[in-house]
Homo-oligomer: A and B are copies of this chain.
Amino acid sequence: MKNYELILKEHSLKVTPQRLGMLSIIDYVGHITIEELFANIRKDFCSISIATLYKNINSMVEVKILKEIKISNSKSKYEILKNEHSHMVCKKCEKLEDLNLCLDITIENASKKSGYIFDENALVLFGICPECQR
């Protein structure tokens, strides 16, 4: 990821310093909650309004620049939308990480079993990360 201006333009959203700042932070940290993002962006834009943040998050999710990740027992995190992938959450240190898995067979099975035609999935695995296992 790099050229946030281009990304915004491609999705017919105007390029504003606030949006560029948001994207740059989200891209840098990978996954972030609303309140973390607000705290973070205030360092650069001390007068940014929480309403602006919500509105920008929502419009960027709508045009699929961003994606919301819902997680049991914690607040939603947002990430820059990239190729489909799953997530892992460590129950001890609470970090969230990407995980690239091939779910083709699983989804095919699901389709056979149910008759549904699937085009999207959300998988979150919970457990203990390698560091916290020691």
Contact = CB atoms under 8 A, between A and B. Distances in A.
Given A90-B116, A117-B133, A110 B125 contact: yes
Contacts of A113: 99-101
A127 interface: yes
Contacts of A101: 106, 109-110, 113
Contact of A122 (B72, B111, B129): B72
A121 to B, nearest CB: 5
A53 to B, nearest CB: 19
Interface of A: 68, 70-73, 86, 88, 90, 97, 99-101, 103, 106-107, 109-111, 113-130, 133
20 contacts: A70-B70, A70-B71, A88-B116, A88-B118, A90-B116, A97-B114, A99-B110, A101-B109, A101-B110, A101-B113, A103-B106, A111-B127, A114-B130, A115-B129, A116-B129, A117-B133, A118-B125, A119-B127, A121-B124, A121-B125
